[in-house]
Structure 1
Amino acid sequence: MVEVGIIGGTGYTAGELIRLMIHHPKVNIRNIVSRSSPGTYLHLIHSDLLGDVNNIKFSNEIKNDELDIIFLCSGHGRSKKELFNISDKIKVIDLSQDFRMIENSTFKKRNFIYGLPELQKNIIRQSDNIANPGCFATSIILSILPLAKNNLLKKNIHISAITGSTGSGKEHSETSHFSWRNNNISAYKIFTHQHLCEIEQIINKVQNNFVSKIYFVPYRGNFTRGIISTTYTETDISLEDNNTIYKKYYNDHPFVHISDINVDVKQVVNTNKCILYITKEKNKLIIISIIDNLIKGASGQAIQNMNLMFNIEETCGLILKSIRF
């Protein structure tokens, strides 16, 4: 059994980690730390866990001598502080953005690997420290990764993507209030969203002769969870050949699927899937990608990475059905 600790246990991603891992056959959750709610029963914060974890309380202490791996869920900018309290012998998966960029990937003798399994599964298997990708970045990189791998990105890439309100995290802000979010939609951080740096970094790494621009317009949606991204770029390659390229690339990746018909977000909510739909209008190749921002975009992908790190079947604990209705 893998002995697991979670730091930052009251947030959305931590709640999803707990929900998934209490049913994971190879995992024992040993320690859940909350700096804001130590001593509080888990089910009083994560009410969906009532009946599953009735006797477990949040701790204020990291049990270094009992853990194999720690998931850092404290939020952006807080992970470095937590690392000072973690034994060097314990593996770490960080769900913040603190270590995703190459220039920030080394800290306290730890070297963090970008944890996108569909990009570098074998490297993740050999790693002790993983920077879990961002939710928008996951959806978008999976949309264009087969093109980059085949050196086919020649023109500018245009992206629009919309995320549910859980993408903003549990801390309150004006744009996360129900009265603002309900029956509403807005664009934000146009061309400047922090996940754009991740996307550019990975695409330039995979296709080092890519010199065009990536334009990304993110939207806040009036729903709770899920991401749908639409990406397009110019290409002379036929739709049939592009479908072949995508299906071949993702053939050995169990959570990415190519759909022959258009997709909608409810197909992936509550799952670790990414579903891609590829179409073409004249010389524009269009890729629509859907994921659950809290699972494939965060906690599910983190568990997928943990499975790889401990030589567990990649899909273990992640065979989930979507909430379709």
Structure 2
Amino acid sequence: MANKLKAVILGGSGYGGAELLRRLLFHPHVEVVRTTAGESSGKKVSDVHLNLAGLTELSFESLSPKEAVAGADVAFLAMPHKTAAQVVLDILASGVRIVDLSGDFRLRDAATYAKYYGVTHPGPQHLTDGTFTYGLPELNREAIRKAKYIASPGCFATTIALGLLPLARGGKLRGPVQTVAATGSSGSGNTPQLTTHHPLRASNLRTYKPLEHQHVPEILQTLRLAGGAEDLSLEFIPVSAPLPRGIFATSFVHVPASTTQEELHALWKETFAREPFIRIVGGARQPEVVGVAGGNYVEVGFTLGPVTGDTRRVVCFSALDNLVKGGAGQAIQSFNLMMGFDERLTLAEPGLWP
């Protein structure tokens, strides 16, 4: 254990924390030395996350942020938005590396953050000064390798941005883009609420935050950095779906009428040719959640529509596991890159089938 990096998980009692623990406990270069939680403080990790029984002796602790990261090499923050921001400010001076799974340091504009998250950011200078690197490896791999602080992307943002990335890279992404994306119940956390309680969700579909979801500016920021038009806009409808894990996104884009199937195939292939976790599927089988649930993989594909006037429509599909590639898995992938490890460590195994 002496040569392993010491990792702490702040906010480890939720589903994101469970997924971090499930993988980091078997990471060949990491020792998880402590994990914190509020209401679960004092409980054994294995009494909260039953799948970890017999695999760790850790218990959840109630510590100040500075106490929690003392002696650690890296801190993973699996905490709610608006809570994580202040914790980050408390531990920046400690020198510990940070991988933040919240949305508090993803955006570059404090006014946009305040609009979509409903509060004033406590450290707005860190949104603009490059302190945090956006942790989407398919876009920012080389920057992540040099980073010390990672803002890990949101689940919807990852799904939708990766589905549209080839069009952005190819200079073919303009607005408005319309997207409908259905997400599993684990994205709502482990505390039952009226709209997430299983008896009400298991046989139901409902939208929430239509056109106002906080991932909209994150998606636009990401796609513009990838080559999307500056006037790019997104009309996004999130849907609460009756499944525990997974996100499936369908995005509608208008492209020039001269665009061909062969041209788009080449764009998708070029964009993802060297990406270890991206699978391009199409034809008889389009992307689907069952192909990725439980794993860090993403399925992407598209369908090209007929010409209408001077444009034709491309329908882009993407699917991933919201807790893995949309959460803890992507955070670990960025951590691996940041530390110079193989980015596939603890993430290469496929998802569950069925």
For 2:227, which of 176, 183, 207 is the aligned residue?
207
**Aligned partners of 1:97 and 1:133 also within 8 Å:** yes
Aligned to 2:150: 130
Aligned to 2:121: none
1:242 aligns with 2:264: yes
The one-letter code matched in structure 2 to 1:259 is V
Task: Supply the distance in 2 between the matched residues of 1:40 and 1:315 (Cα, whole angstroms).
Answer: 31
Q: Residue 25 and residue 250 in structure 1: after superposition, are their counterparts in 2 closer, same or farther (change >3 A)? A: same
Q: Report the Cα offset of residue 64 of structure 1.
A: 3.3
Written as runs of structure 1 = structure 2, the 5 A alignment for 1:234-273 is: 234-235=254-255, 236=257, 237-260=259-282, 261-273=285-297
Written as runs of structure 1 = structure 2, the 5 A alignment for 1:2-13 is: 2-13=5-16
Q: Residue 35 and residue 214 in structure 1: after superposition, are their counterparts in 2 closer, same or farther (change >3 A)? A: same
Aligned to 1:308: 337
Task: Supply the distance in 2 between the matched residues of 1:194 and 1:274 (Cα, whole angstroms).
Answer: 22
1:42 aligns with 2:45: yes
1:188 aligns with 2:208: yes
Written as runs of structure 1 = structure 2, the 5 A alignment for 1:259-298 is: 259-260=281-282, 261-282=285-306, 283-298=312-327
Q: Spell out, residue by residue over 1:82-104, the C-alpha distance to the aligned partner (whole angstroms, 9 max, x if none).
A: 22442531010111111111125
Deviates more, 1:220-229 or 1:143-152: 143-152
Q: Spell out, residue by residue over 1:214-257, the C-alpha distance to the aligned partner (whole angstroms, 9 max, x if none).
A: 11111000110100001121123112211111111111211111
Task: Supply the distance in 1 between the matched residues of 2:130 and 2:32 (Cα, whole angstroms).
Answer: 23
Aligned to 2:81: 76
Q: Report the Cα offset of residue 70 of structure 1.
A: 0.3
SS at match of 1:179: helix
1:91 aligns with 2:93: no
SS at match of 1:207: coil
For 2:60, which of 58, 61, 65 is the aligned residue?
58
**Aligned partners of 1:277 and 1:287 also within 8 Å:** yes
The one-letter code matched in structure 2 to 1:30 is V
Q: Which ranges in structure 1 are unaligned for 5 or more consecutive residues?
A: none
Aligned to 2:132: 112
**Aligned partners of 2:34 and 2:58 also within 8 Å:** no
For 1:163, which of 171, 177, 183 is the aligned residue?
183
**Aligned partners of 2:220 and 2:234 also within 8 Å:** yes
Written as runs of structure 1 = structure 2, the 5 A alignment for 1:216-235 is: 216-235=236-255
Q: Report the Cα offset of residue 208 of structure 1.
A: 5.9
Q: Residue 64 and residue 211 in structure 1: after superposition, are their counterparts in 2 closer, same or farther (change >3 A)? A: closer
Q: Spell out, residue by residue over 1:264-291, the C-alpha distance to the aligned partner (whole angstroms, 9 max, x if none).
A: 2110001101110221121211111000
Q: Given the two structures, how large is their TM-score scaled by the length of structure 1?
A: 0.95
The one-letter code matched in structure 2 to 1:298 is G
The one-letter code matched in structure 2 to 1:56 is L
Give the paired residue count: 324
**Aligned partners of 2:36 and 2:68 also within 8 Å:** no
The Cα RMSD (Å) is: 1.7
Q: Spell out, residue by residue over 1:31-76, the C-alpha distance to the aligned partner (whole angstroms, 9 max, x if none).
A: 11113222210011111111211x2211223343421110111211
For 2:18, which of 8, 15, 19 is the aligned residue?
15
**Aligned partners of 2:69 and 2:75 also within 8 Å:** no
**Aligned partners of 1:99 and 1:106 also within 8 Å:** no
The one-letter code matched in structure 1 to 2:274 is D
**Aligned partners of 2:169 and 2:228 also within 8 Å:** no
Q: Residue 317 and residue 31 in structure 1: after superposition, are their counterparts in 2 closer, same or farther (change >3 A)? A: same
**Aligned partners of 2:173 and 2:229 also within 8 Å:** no
Q: Report the Cα offset of residue 149 of structure 1.
A: 1.6
SS at match of 1:193: coil
Q: Spell out, residue by residue over 1:130-155, the C-alpha distance to the aligned partner (whole angstroms, 9 max, x if none).
A: 11100000000001112112211134
Q: Given the two structures, how large is their TM-score scaled by the length of structure 2?
A: 0.87
Task: Supply the distance in 2 between the matched residues of 1:5 and 1:259 (Cα, whole angstroms).
Answer: 37
SS at match of 1:13: helix
Q: Report the Cα offset of residue 209 of structure 1.
A: 3.5
Q: Report the Cα offset of residue 259 of structure 1.
A: 0.9
| Percent of aligned positions that are identical | 31
Task: Supply the distance in 2 between the matched residues of 1:65 and 1:8 (Cα, whole angstroms).
Answer: 16
**Aligned partners of 1:270 and 1:320 also within 8 Å:** no
The one-letter code matched in structure 1 to 2:267 is I
